[in-house]
Structure 1
Amino acid sequence: MTIKYRPILVATLVLVGLSLTLSSCFNTEKKSTEKSIENDTLATKYPSDVISFMEQWKILLGDGTKTDKLVKYKKDDFFYVDTDGKTDWVVYKTPNSGITSRTSSNTRTELGQKEHWIPEVGGKLTGTLKVMHVSTSADARVAASYSVVVGQIHSDEGNENEPLKIFYKKFPGHKKGSVFWNYEINTAGDNSKRWDYSSAVWGYDMSVVGKSPTSYPEEPEDGIEIGEEFSYEVNVHKGIMYLTFTSEGHETVKFTKNLLKSDFATKADIPEQIWNLYASIGRDGTEIDTAYAGEIQYFKQGAYNQTNGKKPEDNIVWSTGSETYGGDIAKQYANGCYAEVWFKDATVGPSTAPTVE
């Protein structure tokens, strides 16, 4: 008897071929998926990949999120990495209204130093940054309007005041904004009498304001543009604060401030700037003679938005009357009611002896 094997053989070969094809497709798809996951992992960058000091900080974000685990941490829309096409930057972004700290009504996406120190021991903070946006909604008569703080020294005891706040401020319609720094007195007695003395770096100091809610002073000739890079160094050494500000195309500016001995211990010491700016809200306090001597301090860095929704009639210095869309963060971002600051480099560590020039 003759057995016809050909049809069986053909069918078998077809099935084997189909099986091999399906297996090949599956393996190709699997490898493609694995490769895609690998590429996504390689493409993900964290702020700690750009600036490596993140283990020394904790952070508060503009939506109230807090964490002290910042290595390989990011959060979209608040704390993440972006690029200008050639350089990676750490982005700090925060709305005009969100959830903030116990001691402030202003939102922030800002680092807080874990290590604390006293001025006699000191420390050093540096940052290279560019401000990409400040709120376009505010009352121009209010000194804090259209501004963001990009670096601080904050006290952790006593009145919990701030011997240093570094600001960037730009009025709507202006190409250039101002960089200035404020010293808040460590108030003697009732802390409700506290005030800040402001010193201009480039552009104006904080006291230059509009004559009406929608009118602005002249644009500063020597100001810093949105997106223009500048750097600061804060070096507190043996109780003396040394500040250095640099930016390409601008004069390097330096300041020295004693944190152990007050310049404002009597009424006669109060500067004219303070009488003009704070008179309407009754802040005319004096400072403890020893200023911040022996008081625990720590650095802060990021975007501390100074523009809020509080009524200017209640405080013409700090209540900016900005639009907040009922606290809706997405709407605030969509309508320019936020602050955004990019850092490409920063360091924190012990103080160094100042250079003798």
Structure 2
Amino acid sequence: MKKLNTLLFQTPVLISILALFLNSCFHTNATKNVEKENTKTTVYPSNVIPFMDEWTILTGDGTRTEELANYEQKDFFYVSNDGETDWVVYKTPNSGITSKNSSNTRTELGQKKHWIPETGGKLSGTLKVMHVSTSGDARVAASYSVVVGQIHSDDGHENEPLKIFYKKFPGHTKGSVFWNYEINTEGDNSKRWDYSTAVWGNDMSTIGSSPTAYPEEPNEGVELGEEFSYEVNVYNGIMHLTFASKGHPTKTFTKNLLKSEFISKETIPKQILTLYAAIGRDGTERTDAYAGELQFFKQGAYNQTNGKNPEDNIVWNTGSKTYDGDIAKQYANGCYAEVWFKEATVGSGTEPDKE
């Protein structure tokens, strides 16, 4: 009986001690988890792609930044992990604060170093487009698209000898990758136009028959979230383009930046005469194209959708929803572009491999 009384007395005490021990362990672990969370190191875009010291950036809210080491801007320029890899995210709404010569918003790098086609330069990127605007006008060639890489002139008309596009119509699973060459117009630049070349899927001139009637989905297209890469190598005035993606044929192109093929009305491509007929753009190019003009690369998300009236420019005014410029509402309603890069390089042009 004495042993039973002792056991009955000790059991509550033991339970209390065990409870105190377990409670102490729980709070200790919880404190350690909070401390670990608080000390987690921020991963910046410059940690993922180290070339950020070569660039400035303009983001979709108009912020311009010169120094990108250990820099991020939430909602526009930051790092996201897809479960396996860190990616640099470029995100921009349909309507925000734009650069002086554009109606379109961007979160896009601009190369600090300038060069001329004769000396050249090289840019590469491995990326996936995660979103393009879901509002727009299917008749407008620029609708539902984003530019993910450029060469931009800093002289003369400040035109663009290269823009690399991704475009996907609403309801389609696959989109198109294509590149545009903008002529360096002879004389009045109001007659300028872009000639578009398909990589996978369609070129820019494939449009809908009405604002909401979309063309057929491309067979050889690229889906949102599907990885692809490009290399732009300008060497001795010749632009060499290479596009690669798993499950798609690798495509290569060349374009002379020193000698134009569009110097007379007779040499204007049929694509241009059809696409630009409504806005009367039928200019010709300088014989020496972009020779001697300062150029620089751009990379990121240059959103091609805007809220301007399509009836005023049926090629570039997309009539997209902008919610009076409210960025949060645009993001919530699919009115934005978002591009992720995991690798990229920039440097001098190199002699292409000879086959």
User: Is the pair's TM-score, using the shorter chain for normalization, greater than 0.5?
Assistant: yes
Partner Cα distance (1:307, 1:41) in 2: 40
SS in structure 2 of the partner of residue 251 of structure 1: strand
Per the alignment, residue 348 of structure 1 pairs with: 346
Identical counterparts, % of pairs = 74
Q: CA offsets per residue over residues 162-209 of structure 1, 9 Å max, x none?
A: 000000000000000000000000000000000000000000000000
Deviation at 1:44, TM superposition (A): 1.1
Q: Residue 330 of structure 1: which of 321, 328, 331 is its match? A: 328
* 1:122-173 alpha-carbon deviations (Å, 9 max, x no partner): 0100000000000000000000000000000000010000000000000000
SS in 2 for 1:313: helix
Residue 237 in 1 paired to residue 235 in 2? yes
The match for 1:315 among 313, 316, 320 is 313
* Distance in 2 (alpha carbons) for counterparts of 1:320 and 1:37: 49
For structure 1, list consecutive stretches of 5 or more residues without a partner in the other structure: 1-24
Distance in 2 (CA, whole Å) between partners of 1:267 and 1:160 is 22
* Code of the aligned partner of 2:318: T
- Aligned position for 2:15: none
Structure 1 letter corresponding to 2:206: V
Alignment of 1:176-255 (within 5 A): 176-255=174-253
Deviation at 1:32, TM superposition (A): 5.0
- Evaluate the alpha carbon distance shift between residue 296 and residue 343 of structure 1 in structure 2; reply closer, same or farther with a 3 A threshold: same
2:72 to 71, 74, 80: 74
- Alpha-carbon distance, 1:219 to partner: 0.4
Q: 1:123 to 1:37 in 2, by over 3 A?
A: farther
**What's the counterpart of residue 121 of structure 1?**
119
Within a 5 Å distance, the mapping from 1:29-48 to structure 2 comes to: 36=34, 39-48=37-46
Secondary structure of the corresponding residue to residue 353 of structure 1: coil
Name the CA distance, whole Å, in 2 between partners of 1:191 and 1:255: 26
**RMSD, matched Cα:** 1.5
| 2:276 paired with 1:270 | no
Please state how far the C-alpha of 1:279 moved relative to its aligned partner. 0.9
- Counterpart of 1:17 in structure 2 is none
Q: Equivalent of 2:97, from 75, 96, 99?
A: 99
Note the alpha carbon deviations across 1:7-46, whole angstroms, 9 max, x for none: xxxxxxxxxxxxxxxxxx9xx99x958x856654533110
Could you say which residue in structure 1 is the equivalent of 2:280? 282
Measure, in 2, the Cα distance between the counterparts of 1:78 and 1:163: 26
- Describe the shift of the 1:323–1:356 C-alpha distance in structure 2 as closer, same or farther (beyond 3 A): same
Letter matched to residue 180 of structure 1: F
- 1:296 to 2:294 alignment: yes
Report how many residues are paired. 329
* C-alpha separation in 1, matches of 2:308 and 2:155: 27
Matches within 5 A, 1:130-209: 130-209=128-207
| Matched residue SS, 2:310 | coil
Counterpart of 1:285 in structure 2: which amino acid? G
Consecutive unaligned residues in structure 2, runs of 5 or more: 1-23
Quote the Cα distance in structure 2 between the aligned partners of 1:36 and 1:268: 71
Q: Which amino acid aligns with 2:217?
A: E
Taking structure 2 as the reference length, the TM-score comes to 0.91
Taking a change above 3 Å as real, the CA distance of residues 58 and 41 of structure 1, as seen in their structure-2 partners, is farther
- In the aligned structure 1, how far is the partner of 2:316 from the partner of 2:39? 44
Match of residue 60 from structure 2: 62
Partner of residue 6, structure 2: none
Name the CA distance, whole Å, in 2 between partners of 1:40 and 1:181. Answer: 45
Letter in 2 for 1:170: K
1:256 maps to 254
1:165 is matched by which residue type in structure 2?
K
CA distance in structure 2 between the partners assigned to 1:166 and 1:40 by the alignment: 40
Letter matched to residue 177 of structure 1: G
| 1: CA distance, partners of 2:192 / 2:63 | 29
SS in 2 for 1:332: helix
Q: Provide the C-alpha distance between the structure 1 equivalents of 2:198 and 2:249, rounded to a whole number of angstroms.
A: 13
What TM-score do you get using the length of structure 1 for normalisation? 0.90
Counting only pairs closer than 5 Å after superposition, residues 7-26 of structure 1 correspond to structure 2 as: none
C-alpha distance in 1, partners of 2:181/2:322? 28
Q: For the residues of structure 2 that align with 1:275 and 1:100, how far apart are their CA atoms?
A: 29
**Deviation, structure 1 residue 228:** 0.1
